[in-house]
Chain A
């Protein structure tokens, strides 16, 4: 008898690797010997063969013109290195523009509200007081370094995403999220 005899439990765990010839020579021989005599493992390997054959069944051909569309998209990204990598769609752009305008508006409202000190008016309201003047450009300029900082962070995050080195954007956390 060649190699070490294996029991069904051990063989069962190695059957897929056996089908893919991803075992050592001794393991391959031991499993082959076991399969000659074990009908349970024969049935199991048959099922795995079907699964392997089916999952490897032919994928449709890529859509016509896909190659040139992809090259054009990469060329466009080359000319505009800071553009989004996401495929552009009209509806997506429209909703993004609307959401951006809303966010800018809300940010302006909250920012001006935060700048105003909360105080009880010393005198009752009178028409002569008039509305509070809008914030000046100098006041608004205070937000610029913050937005710059966010943009830098996004670029850094994208670098880490490609590397898979950032635990927050890498496969592990994302898979866990996707599988919830």
Chain B
């Protein structure tokens, strides 16, 4: 059967009754989903936008949700896919005009110096900042695996299901992600690394 606009409209109308169920699931998962979205995007506004995008997609295809698996796992797969989609769009939109240079034809751009950031004052916000910077410098797949394991506290099997890969691959991604995080911190915030080492002793 051809998938037409009329078909999707009819389906949505038939499933209007499931809105209450969906709303209940939204209320249950929104906080947990926000943690994931926040760590993926690194900012509150973008995290909320990402969640809005993901919940609308989830609602539209709610009839395809397999109730034998946790709703959060299904939703997280949509959140991660939506995030990848957003990153792809942003990459496409990174356009800078070379015509708007200075009088002598040169152009200056502000580039963040991640090595010169002072780590003397280790407030919660600065810890968050270092962590986010380290996560953002990481391979996308490693970052996703580390966030799902450490922020969401998910088991490797669930992560493998969300990322559609094997448990062995998840194990390897988490390990390599954490190693990257450790070396990034040692380089950019040795004080913070030391503090955490001492706390763990």
Contact = CB atoms under 8 A, between A and B. Distances in A.
A, B co-complexed: yes
Interface of A: 13-17, 20, 22, 46-60, 62-63, 66-67, 69-71, 73-75, 77-78, 81-82, 85-87, 151-152, 155-156, 158-159, 161-164, 169-171, 174-175, 177-180
B23 A71 contact: yes
Interface stretch (B96-104, B105-113, B143-151): B143-151
A62 B34 contact: yes
Main secondary structure of the interface of A (DSSP, over half): helix
B31 A62 contact: yes
B185 A54 contact: yes
B152 to A, nearest CB: 9
Contacts of B34: 59, 62, 66
A67 B53 CA distance: 14
Interface of B: 2-5, 8-9, 12, 16, 19, 22-23, 26-27, 30-31, 34-35, 38-39, 44, 48-49, 51-53, 55-61, 64, 77-78, 80-81, 84-85, 87-88, 91, 124, 127-128, 131, 135, 139-141, 146-147, 149-151, 153, 155-156, 163-164, 171-172, 174-175, 178-179, 181-182, 185-186, 192-193, 196-197, 199-200
A24 B77 CA distance: 27
Contacts of A50: 182, 185, 193, 196-197, 200
B77 A164 contact: yes
B200 to A, nearest CB: 5
Nearest to B127: A57
22 contacts: A13-B175, A14-B171, A16-B171, A20-B149, A20-B156, A46-B197, A48-B175, A52-B178, A53-B199, A71-B27, A74-B22, A74-B56, A77-B59, A78-B12, A78-B59, A85-B53, A85-B57, A85-B60, A155-B3, A161-B57, A162-B61, A174-B88
A121 to B, nearest CB: 40
Given A51-B182, A175-B140, A178-B91, A59 B175 contact: no
Contacts of A77: 56, 59-60
A70 to B, nearest CB: 6
B84 A66 contact: no
Question: Lowest 5 CB-CB distances: which A-B pairs, in order?
Answer: A16-B175, A56-B150, A51-B178, A174-B84, A55-B150
Contacts of B3: 152, 155-156, 159
Nearest to A148: B5
B37 to A, nearest CB: 9
B140 A179 contact: yes
Given A57-B127, A59-B38, A174-B85, A70 B26 contact: yes
Contact of B44 (A63, A67, A156): A63
Contacts of B78: 162
